[in-house]
Amino acid sequence: MAMDLQKQLYLLKELEVLVTRLDIHVRYEHLSDAHSGLCMLKGAAYLIIDMDTAEEEKLGIFKSVLAGRNLSNIYLPPAVREFLSGA
């Protein structure tokens, strides 16, 4: 079953807060010939996301950036932890 837009927007906001706490800057840009993703610039991490990307796909980008990171010592709202665990 597809996730409703309200839940997608909630998760996106919470994931933005989470990656910021991990010292990753989030930027939304109009990308014409590039893809969204994580990059390093002058020693700082940036997650650059195409503004025209659908919310569901943005969630997938955050999920892939956070995959493999140890988040066990970070408080996450239950819905966020559930989303990241794939449940």
Residue 22 to residue 50: CA distance in whole angstroms: 21
The model's pLDDT over 29-59, given as tens digits with 9 standing for 90+, comes to 998 888 899 999 999 999 999 999 999 999 9
Q: pTM, whole model, 2 decimals? A: 0.90
Query: What is the predicted pLDDT for the residue at 34?
Result: 82
Residue 80 to residue 69: CA distance in whole angstroms: 14
Query: What is the predicted pLDDT for the residue at 87?
Result: 56
The domain ranges of the chain are: 22-68
For 51, the token pair is 């503004």
Q: Under 8 Å CB-to-CB from 65, ≥6 apart: which residues?
A: 19, 24, 37, 38, 47
Residue 48 to residue 36: CA distance in whole angstroms: 5
Share of residues in the chain with pLDDT > 90 (%): 86
Query: What is the predicted pLDDT for the residue at 2?
Result: 72
